[in-house]
A and B are shown apart, each in its own frame.
Chain A
Amino acid sequence: MALLRVTAALLLVCAARLGAQAARASEAQVKAVFLFNFAQFVDWPPEAVPDSQAPLIIGILGGDPFGDFLDATVRGEHRGARPFVVHRYQRVEDITRCDILFISRSAGDRPEEILPRLKNRPILTVSDADGFAERGGMIRFVTDRSRIRLQINPEAAEAAHLTISSKLLRVAEVITPTGR
């Protein structure tokens, strides 16, 4: 009897874990699409684009939470004549040229350490770490009852000479750390 109860409990736990995994997979998929979509609503300064056919690089710093989703999403896609490319970095120093950078939780626990090192470089920084936008990050994914919301810090983007479309701003929560 006790065994049965244990088995049932175990089964329940397993089911819960499986459901969470599915939810995570869907969340990662949505975030991957969002990352890809950012390229359409952000303009980079001319010096950030070496030539019209240079690849548009989406970088992941730290552990990759997307699995194959991001690669599948950008495969064969272009922005104008520029193809999308996904790069994975372990350390900030590895980042040479990058357009959109997702800072994984594994790396993003210390944004204060990472962000200053990217300061003034035309890289759109994205993370789902708590208070990322308030602490100088540009876009943060906020999970709100299974929906993904955006927090954007336009000042940070401005400082990096990135122009974020007003359309994007309209669907996001604007964060102004300086209280301006």
Chain B
Amino acid sequence: MSLRDWPIKQKLTAMLVVISGLVLLLTSAGFAGYQYWSLRQATRDALSVRGRIIAANSTASLAFSNDADARELLSALRADQHIVAAVLYDKDGHVFAAYPGDVAGHAVPAAPGPDGYRFEGGLLIGFQPVQEAGSQRLGTLYLASDLEAVYDTFRLSGVIGLAVLAVALLAAYLLSRVLQGTISQPILALAETAKAVSTRQDYSVRASKLGEDELGALTDAFNQMLGRIEDQNRALRESQEELKRYATDLERRVEERTHELQERNESLRRNAAELLAANTELDAFAYSVSHDLRAPLRSIDGFSQILLEDYAARLDEAGRESLHRVRAASQRMGTLIDDLLKLARVTRAEIRTEVVDLSGMARDIAAELRRATPERQVEFAIAPGLKARGDARLLRVALDNLLRNSWKYTAKQPGPRVEFGSVEANGGQAFMVRDNGAGFDMKYADKLFGVFQRLHSAAEFEGTGVGLATVRRIINRHGGRIWAEGAVDQGATFYFTL
């Protein structure tokens, strides 16, 4: 566990113990340093005093070459176990007397060094001049002392210091365990409250305040915050419930509406299917009827013609006239049947989509119309470059019907004019065929495209009433729409989209 993860109690205790331990250690180290230094000083001073005394006492021995006396003098050093060697040199620097008797064990300088006391090689050594007051130098005293005395004292104070350190650290530890509570207790109480809030989502709990310090202020702020959260929570819950109610209501309504729509859809689908079946049946019926009607019709026409050619002489004028009418009627009926078959084919044909040049197609149809009836002078205005995607064959039929229609209804107009172009309608392109012919009354506009629906009599304008129905069928099969505008004697405009 890293230090930052320690509980705050342990952190505080550890901090206090570490600080007091460090202070104690530094103090002890300083004191130990001072003690070591002063012990060495004291030892040196003591040795120098001893050296001076021995030197003063050994003057006569040196002066009068009494080495026995000198040895006796030095042997008194036996009382100090720390003195490892002592030597008296005469004034020429020769060894005069030595302690202990056998100093060979210790390396004794063969000749005196410079005067003074110093630490050398783990020993305290000293060279003390020997002279009677104010007189010439008689020799030199050498003393060597080990530092065991220093080390013993130092060791002892080290042990005492460690004991004191241990006791002080223990005391610091015990004290800090008691004192850290004043800081950690409020924090722990706060932490406990925060935990209760986060685990149980219970914003009604409050941290207990233990004092008026910053932690007390923190506790107050925390409690205030909890209060505000509680209020907000309540408001939130209320609005949530309201929302939920709305949502439920909405859901229910959507469900109802969906159900309704489904039902309606279902019935529509049923209707459409029924309609489709009926239509298909009707188409099949119309086709077969038309087809089957042609044979007897040909017979009627054929035999009427034979009657007119072979028996014209035996008939009077009225009879011939009747036969002409029979023929005209049967021919009209043939055209009618052809148109009906065309319409049925349009319904059945398969659509092959390609890009179709409508302008070119319109020009071709116009040329064809002029060829068929060269005596008529009709002005064509065909916009260039109009193209559309669709079945070329069917579109040709549609455009042919529309242009032929216009051509037909402008027959009684002094300056007939037919226009093919495109306009903008409902955000898309719509094609348009306009003429200045007979026009129609707008109240019959929805009848224009019905089969056999005619606004003019055949005497006025010949026609079967199938053309526009065919056009609408084609446009519808392309997914487009067709409509017309017009007024009586004001011309008509047919619009279609693809």
Task: Give the bracket for the number of chain A residues in contact with chain B.
Answer: 10 to 19
Binary CB contact string for chain B from 26 to 67 against chain A (1 if under 8 A, 0 otherwise): 000000000000000000000000000000010111011110
Which of A14-22, A103-111, A117-125, A163-171 forms part of the interface with chain B? A163-171
Using known A-B contacts A167-B57, A167-B59, A170-B69, determine if residue A79 contacts B64 with beta carbons closer than 8 Å: no
Q: Which residues of B contact A40 (CB under 8 A)?
A: 59, 63, 132, 135
A172:B64 contact, CB within 8 angstroms: yes
Instruction: Find the B residue at minimum CB distance from A77.
Output: B136
Max count, chain B CB within 10 A of own CB: residue among A34, A79, A148, A171: A171
In this assembly, does A85 line the interface, its C-beta being within 8 Å of a C-beta of chain B?
Answer: no
Q: Which residues of A contact B134 (CB under 8 A)?
A: 79-80
B69:A171 contact, CB within 8 angstroms: yes
Q: What number of residue pairs across chains A and B have CB atoms under 8 A from each other?
A: 37
In this assembly, does A53 line the interface, its C-beta being within 8 Å of a C-beta of chain B?
Answer: no
8 Å CB interface, A130-180 against B: 147-148, 150, 165, 167-168, 170-172
Q: Which residues of B contact A41 (CB under 8 A)?
A: 59-60, 63, 132
- Give min CB distance, B118 to chain A, whole Å: 28
B65:A79 contact, CB within 8 angstroms: no
Tally of B interface residues using CB under 8 Å: 14
Partner of A171 from B60, B132, B136 at Cβ < 8 Å? B60
B65:A165 contact, CB within 8 angstroms: no
- Give min CB distance, A26 to chain B, whole Å: 12
In angstroms, Cα B134 to Cα A170, docked, is 21
A165:B135 contact, CB within 8 angstroms: no
8 Å CB interface, B130-167 against A: 132, 134-136, 138
In angstroms, Cα B135 to Cα A80, docked, is 7
Contacts from B to A (Cβ < 8 Å): 57, 59-61, 63-66, 69, 132, 134-136, 138
Instruction: Report, nearest first, the 5 A-B pairs whose CB atoms are least far apart.
Output: A167-B60, A37-B63, A171-B66, A40-B132, A40-B135
Contacts from A to B (Cβ < 8 Å): 30, 34, 37, 39-41, 77, 79-80, 147-148, 150, 165, 167-168, 170-172
**Other CB < 8 Å A-B pairs besides A41-B60, A41-B63, A171-B64, 8 of them?**
A34-B64, A40-B59, A40-B63, A40-B135, A147-B65, A170-B60, A170-B69, A172-B64
Some 15 contacts from A to B, beta carbons below 8 A apart, are A30-B65, A37-B63, A37-B64, A37-B138, A39-B135, A40-B132, A40-B135, A41-B59, A41-B60, A41-B63, A167-B57, A167-B60, A170-B69, A171-B61, A171-B64
